[in-house]
């Protein structure tokens, strides 16, 4: 296998085992993979049970105390469905059509469906508590499996505790599941890039992507983090490719040195990770072809893009090693344990009616027109008028190889071990603690920084912090985010105080200069910059900084800028982010913690 995949900066004669040991920050022991596997699962499992149980109990106390009122009536015929962002537009259109039918329940209530948009991970997080929805529609059944595993862990906690507490427990958290659409995971590339990779004459897979990125440093490709369906499914496909299998992936095989070395070689060429497919398309629309050369998405999004931008053609590459599918389930939750409000009989009827509606030929035709593959196999993909018959950008006969979905335990292992083999990160948090940041602003900023530090899990990632007011107040240099450095950062964040003016440009210059001098080309290098005010104290001039950020250098540095509050200079922050090929985000004083969590998915 090491002869068919090129390792960045390494000789083909080097073995995968020796290469892995040199790249790993851990010891050179041949039991590295087993150590990573056991340590990660033990730590993750313990933290998961404690954190989730704590959140659940807290949520029950806050939302379902003695004075709490039921959020929906006992005969409610309104079903709330949590929908993933990538499916939102299509699903909402179908729901509008369903509601227009004005069906009634036997007791005379009109059936209604309403939606809330959440990432699949947010759906799972809320579903183990007391969610404000009764059904969920993630991109993949992976999230339903994850939900059931977390629910089972909560039952174990309940059985082990001696406290008299009420937790709504059942055998399963998901009551009923139907699937209404599918879409294989593909590598989307611009047509000229696809041809350069060998399409359509030759099959293209992870080996070709990795080889191209290794040979051409300007080649940029990405897949979402494993907290999103396409990112996790693509990562599972990489593990299958590393094991040279199409089915039967086990925990032992997934954590073997050879498999881990293969996946790390592919992941080492990723430009950055990210939030999900819908954000990728938004940035493509805003930034054009210079944003990325290739990226992982569901096949449906290739067709969607080409409808919107017929002059900028994307091609779907089906990994020759095999791929997995987004199977788009619709699931009804089992609610009603303890003090938790139950799914009403009418809501169950609405779910059944919605499931029947989604399975109808008319709706399946609509899903096909939107670029999804229907679950009704009697509908031909290549029929006249089908989007699959009108283009060579996608191929209805592909994928040639469909990988077997691994067990939930294997998926859990892969998702956790990925943090230790993905492309590492060097990121500076550049934080404004000028006088205007006092009070609630500083408190919320500290909470957001804690969230960011908590989300970065791999100890190959290095995080530093630059605190600034009228000058750079303090600097926590980049260090691996092991337990000691994590505690040190948390302590420093807790002791920050607001005072002084705003030397934003000096702080950004210092962070950028530090990353350039470090010259770590194997890592994702980034600045996350936050301010609530106007630049008024820097020695560096605006054009001087922007010019430097735009220069071609050996080390790419991605710059995220966040405007916090109404007084921030949004125009300047936007210009800095654009020059740094990153993103500008606006935060109000209520969502900054979630914003930092989202940004952490890029690393």
Quick one: 81 and 163 in the same domain?
yes
Is residue 532 located within the same domain as residue 484? yes
In terms of domains, do 281 and 140 share one? no
Q: Helix/strand/coil (H, E, C) string of 489-546?
A: HHHHHHCCCCCCCCCHHHHHHHHHHHHHHHCCCCCEEEEEEEECCCCCCCCCCHHHHH
How far apart (Å, rounded) are the C-alpha atoms in residues 488 and 131?
Answer: 35
Nearest residue to 498 via CA among 561, 443, 563: 443
Asked whether residue 235 carries a pLDDT value surpassing 60, the answer given is yes
CATH of the domain at 231: 3.40.190.10
Cis peptide bond prior to 27, omega within 30° of 0 = no
Q: What does 388-400 look like in DSSP terms, one character per residue?
A: TSS-SSS-TT--S
Domain residues for the domain of 436 are 424-600
Whether 423 shows a pLDDT value over 90: the answer reads: yes
Q: Are residues 222 and 345 in the same domain?
A: no
Number of domains in the chain: 3
Q: Both tokens of residue 437? A: 């940041």
Q: Does a structural domain hold residue 14?
A: no
What is the spatial distance between Cα 145 and Cα 522, in angstroms, rounded to a whole number?
A: 34
Average pLDDT for 72-96: 96
261 within 8 A of 17, measured Cβ to Cβ? yes
Give the pair of three-digit tokens for residue 4.
Answer: 């068919």
Tally the C-alpha atoms within 13 A of residue 155's C-alpha that lie toward its C-beta: 12
442 close to 498: Cβ distance less than 8 angstroms? yes
Cβ neighbourhood burial of 30 (10 Å; 0-12, 13-18, 19+) = exposed
DSSP string, 560-579: EEEEESTTS-HHHHHHHHHH
Asked if 204 and 194 touch (Cβ cutoff 8 Å), the reply is: yes
In this structure, are 118 and 158 located in the same domain?
A: yes
pLDDT digits (tens, 9 = 90+) for 47-60: 443 333 443 333 33
**How high is the pLDDT of residue 170?**
52
On whether both 550 and 476 belong to a single domain, the answer is yes
Q: For residue 12, is it within any domain?
A: no
Assess if residue 21 is contained within a domain: no
Residues 221 and 269 sit within 8 Å (Cβ to Cβ): yes
Report the distance separating Cα 369 and Cα 397, nearest Å: 17
Q: Contact 134/99 with Cβ under 8 angstroms?
A: no
For residues 459 and 132, which has the higher predicted lDDT (pLDDT)? 132
Residues 118 and 195 placed together within one structural domain of the fold = no
Query: Is there a single domain that holds both residue 473 and residue 587?
Result: yes
30 within some domain? no
Question: Domain check: are 452 and 541 in the same one?
Answer: yes
Contacts of 206 (CB under 8 A, 6+ apart): 5, 237, 238, 241, 266, 319, 321
Same domain, 279 and 338: no
Per the DSSP assignment, residues forming a β-bridge with 333 are 174
| pLDDT over 60 at 65, yes or no | no
Sign of the CA dihedral running 88, 93, 94, 98 = positive
Are the beta carbons of 585 and 560 closer than 8 angstroms? yes
The Cα–Cα gap between 294 and 188 comes to 5
Average pLDDT over residues 94-109: 97
Q: How confident is the model at residue 334 (pLDDT cuts 50, 70, 90)?
A: very high
pTM of the predicted structure, to 2 decimals: 0.85
Same domain, 348 and 496: no
Q: Of 588, 559, 553, which Cα lies nearest the Cα of 572?
A: 559
First and final CA of the chain: distance in angstroms? 28
CA 457 to chain centre: 14
Same domain for 261 and 151, yes or no, is no
Per-residue pLDDT, averaged over 317-345, amounts to 94
Does residue 499 carry a pLDDT above 60?
Answer: yes
Select from 509, 541, 507, 491 the least CA-distant residue to 434: 507
- Inform me whether the pLDDT recorded for 66 exceeds 50: no
Confidence band for 113, pLDDT divided at 50, 70 and 90: very high
Q: Is residue 73, in this structure, part of any structural domain at all?
A: yes
Give the total residue count for the chain.
603
Q: What is the mean pLDDT of residues 229-241?
A: 97
């Amino acid at each position: 296998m090491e002869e068919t995949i090129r390792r960045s900066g390494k000789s083909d004669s080097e073995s995968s085992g020796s290469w892995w040991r040199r790249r790993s920050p851990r010891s050179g022991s041949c039991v590295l993979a087993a150590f990573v596997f056991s340590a990660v699962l033990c730590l993750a499992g313990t933290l998961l049970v404690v954190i989730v149980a704590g959140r659940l109990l807290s949520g029950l106390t806050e939302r379902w105390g003695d004075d709490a009122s039921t959020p929906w009536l006992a005969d409610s015929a309104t079903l709330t469905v949590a929908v993933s962002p990538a499916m939102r537009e299509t699903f909402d259109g179908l729901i509008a059509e369903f509601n227009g039918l004005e069906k009634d329940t036997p007791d005379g209530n009109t059936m209604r469906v309403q939606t809330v948009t959440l990432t699949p991970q947010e759906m799972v997080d809320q579903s183990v508590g007391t969610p404000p929805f009764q059904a969920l529609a993630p991109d993949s059944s992976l999230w339903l499996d994850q939900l059931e595993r977390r629910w089972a862990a909560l039952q174990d906690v309940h059985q082990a505790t001696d406290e008299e507490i009420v937790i709504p427990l059942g055998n399963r958290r998901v009551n009923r599941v139907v699937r209404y659409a599918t879409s294989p995971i593909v590598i989307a590339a611009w047509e000229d890039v696809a041809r350069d990779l060998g399409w359509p004459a030759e099959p293209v897979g992870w080996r070709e992507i990795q080889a191209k990125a290794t040979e051409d440093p300007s080649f940029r490709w990405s897949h979402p983090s494993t907290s999103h369906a396409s990112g996790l499914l693509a990562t599972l496909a990489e593990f299958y490719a590393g094991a040279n299998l199409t089915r039967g992936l086990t925990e032992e095989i997934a954590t073997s040195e050879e498999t881990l070395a293969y996946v790390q070689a592919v992941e080492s060429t990723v430009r950055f990770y990210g939030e999900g497919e819908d954000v990728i398309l938004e940035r493509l629309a805003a930034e054009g072809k210079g944003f990325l050369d290739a990226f992982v998405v569901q096949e449906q999004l290739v067709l969607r893009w080409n409808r919107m931008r017929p002059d900028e053609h994307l091609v779907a590459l089906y990994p020759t090693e095999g791929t997995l599918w987004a199977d788009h389930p619709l699931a009804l939750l089992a609610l009603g344990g303890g003090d938790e409000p139950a799914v009403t009989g009418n809501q169950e009827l609405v779910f059944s009616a919605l499931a029947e509606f989604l399975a109808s030929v008319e709706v399946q035709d609509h899903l096909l027109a939107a670029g999804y593959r229907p679950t009704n196999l009697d509908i031909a993909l290549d029929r006249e008028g089908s989007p699959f018959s009108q283009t060579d950008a996608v191929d209805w006969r592909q994928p040639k190889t469909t990988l077997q979905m691994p067990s939930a335990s294997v998926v859990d292992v892969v998702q956790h071990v990925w943090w230790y083999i993905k492309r590492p990160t060097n990121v500076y948090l550049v934080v404004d603690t000028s006088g205007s940041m006092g009070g609630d602003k500083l408190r919320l900023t500290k909470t957001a920084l804690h969230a960011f530090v908590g989300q970065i899990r791999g100890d190959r990632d290095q995080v530093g912090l630059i605190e600034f007011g009228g000058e750079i107040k303090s600097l926590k240099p980049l260090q691996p985010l092991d337990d000691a450095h994590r505690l040190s950062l948390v302590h420093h964040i807790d002791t920050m105080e607001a005072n002084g003016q705003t030397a934003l440009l000096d702080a950004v210059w210092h962070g950028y200069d530090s990353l350039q001098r470090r010259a770590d080309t194997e890592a994702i290098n980034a600045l996350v910059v936050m301010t609530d005010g106007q630049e008024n104290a820097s020695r560096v001039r605006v054009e001087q900084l922007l010019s430097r950020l735009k220069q071609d250098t050996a080390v790419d540095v991605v710059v995220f800028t966040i405007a916090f509050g109404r007084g921030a200079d949004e125009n300047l922050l936007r210009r800095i982010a654009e020059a740094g090929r990153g993103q500008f985000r606006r935060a109000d004083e209520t969502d900054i913690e979630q914003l930092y969590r989202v940004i952490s998915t890029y690393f």
